[in-house]
Amino acid sequence: MSARPSNTHNLGPVDQIPFGEGRAFGVDGDQVAVFRLRDGSLRALSAVCPHKGGPIADGTIDQQVVVCPLHQHTFDLQTGCSTSGAEPLHTYDVHLDISRNIILRNEKDRSFN
């Protein structure tokens, strides 16, 4: 069994995030919001709104965007781009492993190709 690269993090079982909701996790000193969409797919973005520091993981989501609960700035769940004029959020690669654990790759640790 090979070890995971240091930039890959096991955040625990997916069942800790209800369908249609998000949760915040601390990863390498950053707050990351992981969302479990109603279709079961996962998305991960910076957990702090760049506008006024709102808790993105507590925002309302649909299949495409999350709405910050403080001032209703919206962000695309795939790209992190704001659809309302705010600075973009950082996105992270996220998937489930064979044991249904959330695996997050911290893109900031990636080396250049």
* Mean pLDDT rounded to a whole number for the chain: 90
Q: What b/e string do you get for 8-38 counting C-beta neighbours within 10 Å, with b at 16 or more?
A: ebebeebeebeeebbbebebeeeebbbbbbe
Band (pLDDT 50/70/90 cuts) for residue 106 is confident
Condensed to tens digits (0 to 9), the pLDDT of residues 28-42 reads 999 999 999 999 999
Residue 44 φ/ψ region, left for φ over 0, alpha for ψ in the -120 to 50 degree band, beta for the rest? beta
- Give φ, ψ of 30 to 5 degrees: -110, 155
Residue 50 has pLDDT above 60, yes or no: yes
- 108: DSSP letter: G
Sign of the alpha-carbon dihedral angle for 27, 97, 88, 111 = positive
Fold topology of 11-108: Rieske Iron-sulfur Protein (2.102.10)
Residue 2 has pLDDT above 50, yes or no: no
Residue 72 has pLDDT above 50, yes or no: yes
What predicted TM-score, i.e. pTM, was given to this entire model?
0.88
Question: Percent of the chain at pLDDT above 70?
Answer: 88
How do the domains of the chain map onto residue ranges?
A: 11-108
